[in-house]
Amino acid sequence: MKALAFDLGAGSGRAIVGEWTKDDRLVLTETHRFANEPVRAGRRLHWDILRLYHEVKLGLAASARAADGPIDSIGIDSWAVDFGLLDRNGDLLGNPVHYRDSRTDGLMEAAWQIVPKEEMFSRTGLQFLPFNTLYQLWAMKREKSPLLEAADKLLMIPDLLRYFLTGQTFGEYTNASTTQFLNASTRRWDTELLERFGLPSGILPEVAQPATVIGTLRASVREELGIPGIPVVAVGEHDTASAVAGVPAADGKPFAYLICGTWSLLGTETAVPVLGADAMRFNFTNEGGLGGTYRLLKNIMGLWLIQECKRLWDRQGVRRSYGEWAELAAREKPFLAFVDPDDDSFLAPAGMPAAIRAFCRKTGQPEPETEAQVMRVVTDSLALKARYVLERLERLTGIAYGGLHMVGGGIQNEALCQSTANAIGRPVWAGPVEASAIGNLAAQFMANGRLSDLAEARRWIAASIDIREYEPQNKNEWEDAYGRFVRYVV
Ligand code: LFR
């Protein structure tokens, strides 16, 4: 049995065929990989959605060719919060805007004048990030966007791609939970909240639960690609939901995870949302998970800082791979300076290395001079921020976690895994790299009945993959560094 996962990150996407082997293991084959490059056009930073859809079709065709035997189902996951609007004929209105676009600047704070922050949190359980769908829609409303006026349906990015493939419009639950207008407790759209902002609740699609079959490839796609009518499954379409499903915590005990990609997401799984004052103060979120769970987690700005440095240096002709940068950084003296990776100045700076130096200058620390020093400051700071967030997570849940599962592309940076183990003073269990794709595949196998639930999925994943353990080192040195680091947390 074979399932096909499309996993779209902010920097790249991939198509991965997952085969359920005769000895009940999962074997992955990457059949297509593509860049996801945002395009600035006119006033706005956009996602190149038709290019992405084109790549999905190329991935479908490549997977059909590569798989010997039929593909039994398809699922798509991507980053969250962003959306496209359809008009009443079902045509896409405009190009989805990138969440790092400036249209939402200052709007989150203004929104609290309309619905107080506390009320918003107790209803939606969602962290306050300036680009949540709510503020993006409100930005359109405030500038009297004709697109919003013409909109008949709002579809999040994976909903939209799934719509192109199947012709059906649903809003998948885990991703819907990132909009800040889904009620955390009832798991339904909070239409009243939207209406208080004068936003049209009639454009919201029916919510679909993850791990359910909700369509089949439409005739035009089948004909164009010469492939049969494969079922399309609503998976955990928020990539982070899929990644959490892909964490190989197989013993059924509570666990903490750190998903490492463009963003780092540190949290745990809970049965009920945690909506108290501390959760709001620490800016944790309760996003929807598979199997009726919640993802109590916090966003950390993550590898974005490293990716943006590399992008700039590449452009300046100082080209090195991520692996090379990590090695050079590892040779630098540790703890030269610290940054809070979550400082606003790092969200969308014109130049990341300059923003990092500016933070150090502003806080009276020595500035990293060389590229390798900049990388070192970022790596140390990401590891220390993980400890900071883990400790707050433990305060919220009252559970002491024995270690941290690290998953996602970022765990290929071994220095980051080791530094994180050092910073938290506990073991890190790293793997799998392709957690989102694996969680996506698991939801498909749950939809078709091969897996009964999330617990079984995790046992199956743990039996199929290799996990690398990092033991903490240099405890005293890191303890001391943490004491200095916390002074710079904003
Ligand atoms: C990670 C992620 C995060 C979300 C951010 C923006 O890829 O989906 O969970 O907060 O991207 O959508």
Is 182 domain-assigned? yes
Q: What is the ipTM of this complex?
A: 0.98
Cα(373) to ligand 1 centroid in Å equals 28
Query: How confident is the model at residue 490, as a pLDDT?
Result: 87
Is 307 domain-assigned? yes
> Which mutation among 136, 177, 239 tests ligand 1's pocket best, with the greatest number of atoms within 8 A of CB?
239
| Residue listed under structure tokens 């010997």 | 68
319 in the same domain as 201: no
DSSP, collapsed to helix, strand or coil, labels residue 232 as strand
**How would DSSP label each residue in 76-109?**
EEE-SS-EEEE-TTS-EES-PBPTTSGGGTTHHH
Q: Which amino acid is at 380?
A: D
Q: Cβ neighbours of residue 63 under 8 Å, at least 6 residues apart?
A: 4, 15, 17, 31, 32, 71
pLDDT of residue 69 exceeding 90: no
Query: How confident is the model at residue 248, as a pLDDT?
Result: 98
Cα(240) to ligand 1 centroid in Å equals 7
Contact 63, 221 (CB under 8 A): no
Beta strands 404-407 and 428-430 are parallel
233 in the same domain as 261: no
DSSP, collapsed to helix, strand or coil, labels residue 71 as coil
Cα(436) to ligand 1 centroid in Å equals 12
Q: Looking at the CA of residue 259, tell me the nearest atom of ligand 1.
A: 1
User: Which residue puts its alpha carbon closest to atom 8 of ligand 1?
Assistant: 79
Ligand 1 binding site (Cβ under 6 Å of any ligand atom)? 9, 79-81, 99, 238-240, 261-263, 265, 299
The whole-number average pLDDT for the span 384-412 is 98
Which domain range does residue 357 map to?
247-490
Cα(78) to ligand 1 centroid in Å equals 8
Cα(147) to ligand 1 centroid in Å equals 25
Query: How confident is the model at residue 60, as a pLDDT?
Result: 97
pLDDT of residue 33 exceeding 90: yes
Token digits of residue 290: 């598979």
Is 398 domain-assigned? yes
pLDDT digits (tens, 9 = 90+) for 176-232: 999 999 999 999 999 999 999 999 999 999 999 999 999 999 999 999 999 999 999
Give the mean pLDDT of the chain. Answer: 97
User: Which residue puts its alpha carbon closest to atom 9 of ligand 1?
Assistant: 240
Contact 81, 99 (CB under 8 A): yes
> Which mutation among 8, 36, 47, 81 tests ligand 1's pocket best, with the greatest number of atoms within 8 A of CB?
81
Q: Looking at the CA of residue 287, tell me the nearest atom of ligand 1.
A: 9
Token digits of residue 411: 């765990």
Alpha helix stretches (DSSP H) within 4-127 = 49-66, 107-111, 117-124
Ramachandran category for residue 187: left, alpha or beta (phi over 0 → left; psi -120 to 50 → alpha): left
217 in the same domain as 255: no
Half-sphere exposure of 86 (CA within 13 A, CB side): 22
Q: Looking at the CA of residue 265, tell me the nearest atom of ligand 1.
A: 9
307 in the same domain as 185: no
Alpha helix stretches (DSSP H) within 409-474 = 414-424, 435-447, 454-464
pLDDT of residue 245 exceeding 90: yes
Query: How confident is the model at residue 249, as a pLDDT?
Result: 97
Catalytic residues: 239
Cα(263) to ligand 1 centroid in Å equals 6
Residue finishing a domain among 237, 258, 278: 237
pLDDT of residue 395 exceeding 90: yes
Is 242 domain-assigned? no
Q: Cβ neighbours of residue 208 under 8 Å, at least 6 residues apart?
A: 170, 171, 172, 173, 214, 234
Residue finishing a domain among 237, 257, 278: 237
pLDDT digits (tens, 9 = 90+) for 109-151: 999 999 999 999 999 999 999 999 999 999 999 999 999 999 9
The whole-number average pLDDT for the span 146-161 is 98
Cα(242) to ligand 1 centroid in Å equals 12
The whole-number average pLDDT for the span 9-16 is 97
DSSP state for residue 182 in the 8-state scheme = B
123 in the same domain as 33: yes
Q: Looking at the CA of residue 79, tell me the nearest atom of ligand 1.
A: 8
pLDDT of residue 68 exceeding 90: no
Nearest to 211 by CA among 226, 232, 225: 232
Is 441 domain-assigned? yes
Nearest to 18 by CA among 35, 36, 34, 31: 31
Is the pTM higher than 0.90? The answer reads yes
DSSP, collapsed to helix, strand or coil, labels residue 412 as helix
Q: Which amino acid is at 127?
A: Q
User: Which residue puts its alpha carbon closest to atom 4 of ligand 1?
Assistant: 80
With cut-offs at 50, 70 and 90, classify the pLDDT of residue 67: confident
> Which mutation among 108, 172, 265 tests ligand 1's pocket best, with the greatest number of atoms within 8 A of CB?
265
Asked if residue 248 has a cis previous peptide bond (ω within 30° of 0), the answer is no
Q: In what order do the strands lie in the sheet with 83-86?
A: 92-93, 83-86, 153-156
User: What CATH number is associated with residue 217?
Assistant: 3.30.420.40
Work out how many domains the chain is built from and give that number: 2
174 in the same domain as 123: yes
Q: Looking at the CA of residue 9, tell me the nearest atom of ligand 1.
A: 7
CA distance linking residue 184 with residue 296, whole number of Å: 12
Residue finishing a domain among 204, 237, 270: 237
CA distance linking residue 194 with residue 212, whole number of Å: 27
Q: Looking at the CA of residue 129, tell me the nearest atom of ligand 1.
A: 10
CA distance linking residue 83 with residue 178, whole number of Å: 11
Share of the chain above pLDDT 90, in %: 99
Cα(238) to ligand 1 centroid in Å equals 8
User: Which residue puts its alpha carbon closest to atom 2 of ligand 1?
Assistant: 79
72 in the same domain as 221: yes
